Amino acid sequence: MSWAIGYDSNWHRDIGYGVVAYCDHPKCNEVIDRGLSYVCGGDPEGGDRGCGLYFCEKHLQSGVRLPQLCERCRKRRKAFDLKPEHPRWLWWKLNDPSWAEWREENPEEVVKYREQIKGYIPDPDDVKATSWHRCPHCGEEYALGVECDLCNQKEPESTTSTTK
């Protein structure tokens, strides 16, 4: 099992080290991921003591007897409000072929996300990763710039791409 992408049913958002996010501290916009290294409480959804929000190293403190906690959970106070999703993550969900089924099942979320990222210019590497190619050796489809999963051949980058 991988912790790359999961879902937090408490906060109703995607989690995992594959999810690009902002630090949830209200005065910080540090870009992090929602992996275990950044979660308040040290476990998904916060464990026994944390709130389950995600913080950069500056806003998450570790103790000898306590798990990593944000400043509010250290004082047993109410959690901070959620930060909006990072536009890079929303763009990925709206464009990557692996999220096609989710997009079909959640048309209202797709409309909401598209509105949230209006004007966002995606990272060129993200665009490249969502461009799929047919391997000339075996016919398998795979992302530009990586080896074919089936025959381990690498297609030249000058080949015409097809965006799924």
Distance CA 114, CA 85 (A): 12
Amino acid making up residue 64: V
User: How many CB atoms lie under 10 A from the CB of residue 51?
Assistant: 23
Distance CA 65, CA 42 (A): 13
pTM for this entry: 0.76
Amino acid making up residue 18: G
Reading the block at residue 60, the tokens are: 């998450």
Q: Where are the domains of the chain?
A: 6-74, 130-163
Q: Using only C-alpha atoms, what is the Rg of the chain?
A: 19
Distance CA 128, CA 134 (A): 14
Strand partners, 16: 34
Q: How confident is the prediction along the chain (164 residues), in pLDDT tens digits per residue?
A: 577 899 999 999 999 999 999 999 999 999 999 999 999 999 988 999 999 999 999 999 987 788 899 999 999 999 999 999 999 999 999 988 889 999 999 999 999 999 999 998 888 777 766 665 667 777 666 555 556 656 666 545 444 444 44
CB 29 within 8 A of CB 59: no
